């Protein structure tokens, strides 16, 4: 499968307890100081949208959001551009970039100790319903690439890749779960 448009989401650990307004100041500072690679564009506040994207950092390459989709708070990243050639490489590129983003955010003194993201599990959402409809057949075609990417992200661990049973009208979503918990900083450095 050759998907260009997809998203991943690292969920917040249960101990996370944070006032999300802090992300606005942090993301504006990151733009001003060019804390991330790529072209940083703007910050958007969608906290008023139920189960929505929350606070977003928009870049030319990736949209990042402290998202509440499906009632689960976490770091969501939507791939727009990248350099990887294969789908497996694109998955790895977005997972590592998002993990680095999350590790940087967790270490910021304004949220340190209040925000904790789980790196040992993430959601993969196909953002291309034409090429990856929410069917068992599309999941079967996508699964080998997800498994190959997961093997590189979580070396030495057994990893499960399962299809999220959701409404057929929703995006095809897979859950990638490593055997053990992983810090985002460690994941950002994987293979």
Instruction: Give the pLDDT band (50/70/90) at residue 180.
Output: very high
Count of domains for the chain? 1
Instruction: Return the higher-pLDDT residue of 82 and 4.
Output: 4
Q: How many CB atoms lie within 10 A of CB 182?
A: 19
Section 154-170 average pLDDT: 94
Q: Does any domain span residue 1?
A: no
Give ∠ CA 19-20-24 in degrees, rounded to 5: 125
Average pLDDT for the chain: 93
In tens, the pLDDT along 73-90 reads 999 999 987 777 899 999
In tens, the pLDDT along 6-51 reads 999 999 998 888 999 999 999 999 999 999 988 999 999 999 999 9
Q: Does any domain span residue 170?
A: yes
Q: Does any domain span residue 93?
A: yes
In 3D, which of 15, 5, 11, 8 has the Cα closest to residue 114? 15
Q: What is the pLDDT of residue 123?
A: 97
Instruction: Give the pLDDT band (50/70/90) at residue 191.
Output: low
Q: Contact, 2 vs 87, CB < 8 A?
A: yes
Q: Which domain holds residue 180?
A: 6-188
Q: Say yes or no to pLDDT of 93 above 90.
A: yes
Q: Does any domain span residue 129?
A: yes
Q: Does any domain span residue 120?
A: yes
Q: Does any domain span residue 16?
A: yes
Distance CA 100, CA 181 (A): 16
In the chain, count H helices and then E strands. 4, 8
Instruction: Give the pLDDT band (50/70/90) at residue 188.
Output: confident
Q: Does any domain span residue 46?
A: yes
Q: Does any domain span residue 13?
A: yes
Q: Say yes or no to pLDDT of 176 above 90.
A: yes
In tens, the pLDDT along 127-140 reads 988 889 999 999 99
CA-to-CA dists, residue 79 to 108, 109, 128, 135, 136, angstroms: 24, 27, 12, 22, 23
């Amino acid at each position: 499968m050759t998907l260009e448009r997809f998203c991943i989401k690292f969920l917040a650990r249960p101990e996370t307890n944070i006032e999300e307004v802090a992300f606005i100041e942090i993301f504006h500072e990151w733009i001003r100081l060019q804390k991330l690679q790529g072209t940083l564009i703007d910050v958007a506040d969608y906290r008023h949208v139920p189960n929505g994207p929350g606070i977003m950092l928009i870049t030319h390459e990736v949209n990042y959001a402290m998202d509440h989709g499906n009632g689960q708070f976490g770091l969501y990243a939507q791939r727009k551009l990248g350099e990887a050639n294969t789908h497996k490489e694109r998955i790895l590129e977005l997972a590592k970039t998002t993990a680095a983003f999350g590790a940087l955010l967790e270490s910021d003194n304004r949220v340190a100790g209040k925000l904790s993201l789980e790196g040992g599990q993430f959601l993969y959402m196909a953002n291309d319903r034409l090429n990856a409809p929410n069917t068992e057949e599309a999941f079967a075609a996508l699964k080998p690439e997800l498994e190959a990417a997961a093997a590189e992200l979580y070396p030495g661990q057994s990893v499960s890749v399962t299809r999220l049973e959701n409404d057929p009208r929703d995006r095809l979503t897979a859950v990638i779960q490593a055997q053990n918990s992983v810090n985002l900083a460690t994941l950002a450095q994987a293979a």
